[in-house]
Structure 1
Amino acid sequence: MSIKAIISGGGTGGHIYPGISLAYEIKDRNVNNKVLFIGTERGLESKLIPREGFKFEKISARGIQRKICFENIVAILIFFISLFQSFKIIKRYKPDLVIGTGGYVSGSVVLMAALLGIPTFIHEQNVVPGVTNKFLSPLARATFLSFDQSRKYFSHQSKLTLTGNPIRFKNLERNKSKDYQKFNLDPLKNTILVLGGSKGAASINRAVVQGISIIKEIIKNKWQVLLISGQDDYSKIIEIIGEDNKIFFVERYLYDIEKAYSLADLVICRAGATTLAEISAYGIPAILIPYPYATNHHQEINARILEREGAALVILEENLSGEKLAKVLVDLIKDENKLEIMAKKSRGLDKVDSAAKIINIIFNYIRKKNKK
């Protein structure tokens, strides 16, 4: 029996990539299974989903600001429009199930599916759940958690299942020689991977460039830096580092980030839940710089868990500077034993089979429902 599923979530890669992972898992079970993504034109999903080969339909959606303002009146009106748009898509597509992976766009889709009696499921990536998922959880048949620490934020405890965060790639073994060639990296050197999330992070880029310039004489013979700058900051970073540098290799954006993960011996990055799941899958020690404006400081809370487990060091944005980062880097690079321990701790946090766990639970529910 084939299954028709709708997956909705978007805005940033942190909500989109788990959905992509679940979509591939659904298709792997039966080539006749069908998956439709619903997102917005403005979100990153409008680029990423079609690139993965899945069908994609757009609705209107806008987030609610946490203050009294005119924009919220507009957002509420748009929400009711999105409910009507979701209704039309769901009635036409006739899904067997709907999965929400967070972000405001998933709110109207999952809500309408629940009102229509279609089994709905949600996945929460962060320790502190977003407003959308907290609102939808009582309506969902199950809520899947990436962190056990999230349980206290939900009221319906019986619906919660710890699964980890689905990552977008299954095969972690790669031909590294080809990946070194892709980035023009030296296979004899260790690699620091720098990324600021799906939209880049200018503050991290600047601190890394400044920090590496301070310690380049110490590291230049053994270490190199692969910096994923983000589209907006690429030209400026190239201008700052110059064309004759022998340490930095800069990319605007990577759709196939696993190629970079496979080469990384240390990563400097934000602390979005999906990024943390991916670096744990590869067992990469990390220096985490949480995004300071994340709702409810959820990135810092995510980061502190890895720090407590010994898999990462945390630098808050308010303390970030080239000098601070240089000191942390030198201390780590000189202590190979500490890097090895951090890598081992990182691997211990990995839940590679998260997508399979989630789809097993969903499909078992659908099978039992169909037998009644």
Structure 2
Amino acid sequence: MKIIITGGGTGGHIYPGISLAQEFKRRDGSNEIIFVGAEHKMEAEIIPREGFRFYGLRVKGIERKFSLANLSSLWLFLSSLITSYRIIKKFKPDVVIGTGGYVSGPVALLASLMGIPTFIQEQNLIPGITNQFLSLTVRKVLASFPESQKYFWRKNRVVFFGNPVRENTWQGNRANLIKKTKLSLNKKTILVFGGSKGASAINQTLLTSLKLIDKALWMQWQVLIVSGKEDYFNLKEEAVHSEYKGQVEVMDYLHQIGDAYDLADLVVCRAGATTVAEITAKGLAAILIPYPYATGNHQLYNARFLEANRAAVVITEEDLTDEKLARELVKLMSDQERLSAMAQNSKKLGKRGAARDIVEGIYDSIQSKTFS
């Protein structure tokens, strides 16, 4: 079977597609898969590294309010339709799957209008505008949250599967991380990261808040900060010269995030859909600080879902202070029973088999039409 997976812009739209591609290959090694994304975005680097062919489109997002920049975006969209048509005609896919981001629009739209079985995978609780429009033409919407159905215009096309995550995110090995850092297996670990692009607000507040925590409590813990490239050198310098040096490890990026999940007892992070899917697949308690400028504020809705299920504490960036974060950290660091309960609740929400279930559903849809 020939499959096109299209989407990108952020890790949240890229990695679910990779998970599906790996599952299609696991199901049948003869399956042929290509990815279509934006030619100058992170997917152009990540996809080939994962061993899949990549085709780039010149396309920009359209702002939700009128602007002159939208005229340029519209022109690029129209030209990307021509490129997408050529890719589809040459590759002749049996299935097309959109994983979100504006770049998925041209390919998924054309494929569905050409009668090719087309599916879109929505990672967030609140759908993005591209997927909202595509839901009018595609065969099915593959939702990551059961609550997502009510936000789509064509509710009868929405099916809940969960968000696909790569197996290495919940099958990591902490020993790999211990070998290349000064972290210890004998201390509890707080993992801090901001998603695929880092998060300066979280990084800076975290280091300052640690100074407000009682030293006797703090000495039982250690911190791993995956900072992103922008903050790395400043944070590294500050950590080395802080009173907690040796207990704070700073890395700019970690390709095998699963190794860090395997070491972590508590996570402080954003609430992007892939992050939420990964920490629940692993079963980790979290303090979530949603990115406030995400389209439609979707990260806040993702975070509130975990909070409502007692799997996370939510602090909005507007309310984020050194003192607030320190208070929430102390509550969890000093209460193992609550920390364990949150981790168990998180694991109940996780969908480790989402990629397998989606691929199975797509096969059923094509072969027997039971899913169409």
In 2, Cα distance between equivalents of 1:253 and 1:41:
22
Question: Is the 1:220–1:247 Cα contact (8 Å) retained in structure 2?
Answer: no
Aligned pair 1:122/2:83, yes or no?
Answer: no
From 187, 190, 193, the equivalent of 2:191 is 193
Match of 1:43 in 2: 41
Q: 1:318 is matched with which residue?
A: 318
Partner of 1:279 in structure 2?
Answer: 279
Question: 1:134/1:175 Cα in 2 relative to 1: closer, same or farther (>3 Å)?
Answer: closer
The alignment partner of 2:3 has SS state of strand
Counterpart position of 2:100 = 102
Relative to the length of structure 1, the TM-score reads: 0.96
Change (3 A) 1:53 1:302: same
* Distance (Å, rounded) in 2 between the aligned partners of 1:78 and 1:181: 47
Alignment correspondent of 1:345: 345
Offset from partner CA, 1:22-73 (integer Å, 9 cap, x none): 0000000111111100011222111111110110010111101121111111
- The answer (yes or no) to whether the contact 2:2–2:95 under 8 Å persists in 1 is yes
Does 223-232 or 111-120 show the bigger shift?
A: 111-120
Check whether the contact 1:272–1:302 (CA below 8 A) recurs between aligned residues.
Answer: yes
Give, as a single letter, the amino acid of the residue that structure 2 aligns with 1:190.
K
How far has the Cα of 1:243 moved from its partner? 5.2
Aligned-CA RMSD value: 1.4
Partners of 2:174 and 2:201 in 1: how far apart? 30
1:257 Cα offset (Å): 0.8
The answer as to whether partners of 1:142 and 1:159 remain within 8 angstroms in 2 is: yes
AA in 1 matched with 2:341: I
2:38–2:56: 8 Å Cα contact kept in structure 1? yes
Which range moved further: 16-25 or 293-302? 293-302
**Secondary structure class of the residue paired with 1:224:** strand
State the secondary structure of the residue aligned to 2:256.
Answer: coil
Aligned to 2:263: 263
Q: Supply the distance in 2 between the matched residues of 1:175 and 1:61 (Cα, whole angstroms).
A: 39
- Residues 208-219 of structure 1: pairs in structure 2 closer than 5 A: 208-215=206-213, 217-219=215-217
CA contact (8 A) 1:10 1:105 kept: yes
Q: Give the structure 2 partner of residue 16 of structure 1.
A: 14
Mapped to 2, the partners of 1:342 and 1:63 lie a distance apart of 37
Q: In the alignment, is residue 87 of structure 1 matched against residue 102 of structure 2?
A: no
Aligned to 1:143: 141
Q: 1:9 to 1:249 in 2, by over 3 A?
A: same
Give the Cα separation in 1 of the matches to 2:127 and 2:176. Answer: 39
In the alignment, the residues of structure 2 paired with residue 53 and residue 118 of structure 1 have an alpha-carbon distance, to the nearest angstrom, of 25
Task: Give the partner amino acid of 1:260.
Answer: A
What TM-score comes out, normalization by structure 2 length? 0.96
The reply to whether residue 293 of structure 1 matches residue 293 of structure 2 is yes
- For the 8 Å contact 2:239–2:249, the answer to whether it is kept is no
Give, in whole Å, the separation in 2 of the partners of 1:240 and 1:149: 42
Answer whether contact 1:225 1:249 (CA < 8 A) is retained.
yes
Q: Give the conservation status (yes or no) of the 8 Å contact 2:285–2:339.
A: yes
**Corresponding residue of 2:162:** 164
Amino acid of the structure 2 residue aligned with 1:334: S
Q: 2:143 touches 2:163 (CA, 8 Å); kept in 1?
A: yes
Alpha-carbon distance in 1 for matches of 2:247, 2:261: 18
How is 1:71-86 mapped onto 2 (pairs within 5 angstroms)?
Answer: 71-86=69-84
User: Separation in 1 of the partners of 2:75 and 2:110?
Assistant: 16
Q: Structure 1 residues 176 and 242, CA, compared in 2 at 3 Å: closer, same or farther?
A: closer
Q: How many residues align?
A: 367
Q: Which amino acid aligns with 2:49?
A: R
Q: Distance in 2 between matches of 1:212 and 1:361?
A: 47
**AA partner of residue 279 (structure 1):** I
Report sequence identity in percent. Answer: 49
Distance in 1 between residues matched to 2:168 and 2:123, nearest whole Å: 18
Q: Quick check: 15-24 or 239-248, which moved more?
A: 239-248
TM-superposition CA deviations, 1:226-282 (whole Å, max 9, x none): 100001111121122225712211111122111111111000000011100100011
Distance 1:177 1:19 in 2: 28
Q: Is the 8 A contact 1:127 1:147 kept in 2?
A: yes
Relative to structure 1, the CA distance from residue 171 to residue 67 in structure 2 (aligned partners, 3 Å threshold; closer, same or farther) is closer
